[in-house]
Structure 1
Amino acid sequence: MRMVLALGAILLLAAAPPGRPLSVALPDADGPLPERYGVSSVAVNANCLACHSAGMITAQPRLTRVQWGETITKMRAVYGAPINPADDAAILDWLVAD
């Protein structure tokens, strides 16, 4: 996601009229995610923040544990996300905590 934003910023800068500087504000990383309802955020911070901002993660719709598991599998298989399989349960615990 950050790579797409950076590429978009580069393309905007390249398209700027000569002599007129163009500024682009990229989203802030938001920092690490907090513990959620007593569930540690260590695994989420270690695996998910490499590609997603904390704001993006917390803005996602509520999904079931099975749906989040499918999402983690998709990110790993389709997008090549380096998510440690040993962290899957801890990530899922945090994502569905309420």
Structure 2
Amino acid sequence: MGQKLPPDQLELYKRIDEVLFYKWDPIGISDGDWARDEYQSYLPRVFAHAMESDSPEPIAKYLGVVSTESMGLSTAPEHDLNIAKMIIEIKNGLGL
């Protein structure tokens, strides 16, 4: 990101990165660190959605668009929503 985040937001940013790689992982690469940066291009947008709303729906919708339109995968709306809920729970747990 082009700006420096406060420590609590930086923590959320890092945790979202972990969630995207280890939990969302639509192409199944999280068993090794060789492609650790694979989903980082989506991170700023997911972070922005998380900061803008307490609703998981915008995050889930974005993840769905990424996986279907950018990656050409089948839809997985339940998985995307579960990931989005996890991100909102982390945000709330950090008091943001």
Q: TM-score, normalised by structure 1?
A: 0.39
**Structure of greater Rg:** 1
Q: TM-score, normalised by structure 2?
A: 0.39
